[in-house]
Amino acid sequence: MKKVYIQLTASLIVFFLLSRSSYGLPNPIWHTGQLILWDKTVLEGDLSYNWSAEMVLLRQSDGRLCTFSAHQVNEFGWFDYTIHKHRNFVALPDNRSKQATRQTFFEICTDGTLSVVRRLRRPHGLLKKAFSNPSYYADQPQMAQNQEHFDYFVYDAGKLRSLDKFFVDIYEPLMTSYDQELREYVLKHNLNDRSLLGRLVLIDRYNQLVQQDPRTASAREARSSQD
């Protein structure tokens, strides 16, 4: 049943993609990149990601389009020249709901001891009706740079911890080993740690502290020598 649903969704995405010009829908932006399947097969070509359908499209050299879901692809990415950075997406188990866990694509925002990932925030009400066509959710520069379009999480030990519950779910259980340094950093830079941007900056600072800590450096060297 799941396979049929994925195939149907993929067919709809291709249909909307081919018919978009007739309805004045936004064109997808293609990026040269690569995707890695779960069996480690590497495919290269032009990629476009649809946040709503959670499908990555691969355009082959002969113009053919292939669609892949998080059940098929482990990770993919490209260099985004509009924002001058390499963007990486990874398939993770989304176990936040009471329903069965399923693989979902997340974009990696911060990589380190605490990795921050994000996914599209689902529209509600009138906004949901106005932008019901999947073509509106093909990755675009305006969308990618607007943090308000996304939900952010720390991915820790197989669990997604929402930045909306930053102090309870992230700071207190994971970051208090550097509590004094982080508090000083907040005061020195007048950081609003109740805003999304402030929390992202604070997590990045925490990762830097862990990286610079002689204790963690010694641990990393010990692991490297064992390998």
CB 57 within 8 A of CB 13: yes
Instruction: Using the Cα atoms of residue 136, residue 139, residue 144 and residue 147 in order, give the sign of their dihedral.
Output: positive
3-class SS of residue 125: helix
How is the chain split into domains, by residue range?
2-156, 165-227
What angle (nearest 5°) sits at the alpha carbon of residue 55, between those of residues 111 and 91? 35
Which residues neighbour 2 within 8 Å (Cβ) at sequence distance 6 or greater? 71
Quickly state the pLDDT bin for 144 (edges 50, 70, 90): confident
Q: Is the pTM of this model over 0.95?
A: no
Residue 93 has pLDDT above 50, yes or no: yes
Per-residue confidence (pLDDT) for residue 4, from 0 to 100:
45
User: If you compute the radius of gyration of the chain from its CA atoms, what whole number of angstroms results?
Assistant: 20
CB 67 within 8 A of CB 29: no
Per-residue confidence (pLDDT) for residue 175, from 0 to 100:
97
Residue 46 has pLDDT above 70, yes or no: yes
What angle (nearest 5°) sits at the alpha carbon of residue 13, between those of residues 148 and 140? 35
Q: Which whole-number Å values give the CA distances from 126 to 2, 131, 132, 142, in the listed order?
A: 29, 9, 10, 20
Q: DSSP label at 123?
A: P
Quickly state the pLDDT bin for 8 (edges 50, 70, 90): very low
Q: DSSP label at 98?
A: S
User: What angle, 0 to 180 degrees and rounded to 10, lies between the N-to-C axes of helices 179-188 and 196-212?
Assistant: 130
- Per the prediction, the chain carries an average pLDDT of 83
CB 155 within 8 A of CB 117: yes
Per-residue confidence (pLDDT) for residue 7, from 0 to 100:
52
Report CA 227 to chain centroid distance, whole Å.
Answer: 30
Q: What is the mean pLDDT of residues 58-74?
A: 92
What angle (nearest 5°) sits at the alpha carbon of residue 63, between those of residues 57 and 69? 15
User: What angle, 0 to 180 degrees and rounded to 10, lies between the N-to-C axes of helices 196-212 and 214-226?
Assistant: 60
pLDDT in tens, 11-38: 545 544 444 444 555 678 899 999 999 9
Quickly state the pLDDT bin for 5 (edges 50, 70, 90): very low
Q: What is the mean pLDDT of residues 41-67?
A: 92
Per-residue confidence (pLDDT) for residue 23, from 0 to 100:
52
Of 84, 187, 83, give the one whose Cα is nearest residue 145: 83
Name which residue leads in pLDDT, 47 or 143.
Answer: 47
Task: Put residue 41 in one of left, alpha, beta given phi > 0 → left and psi -120 to 50 → alpha.
Answer: beta
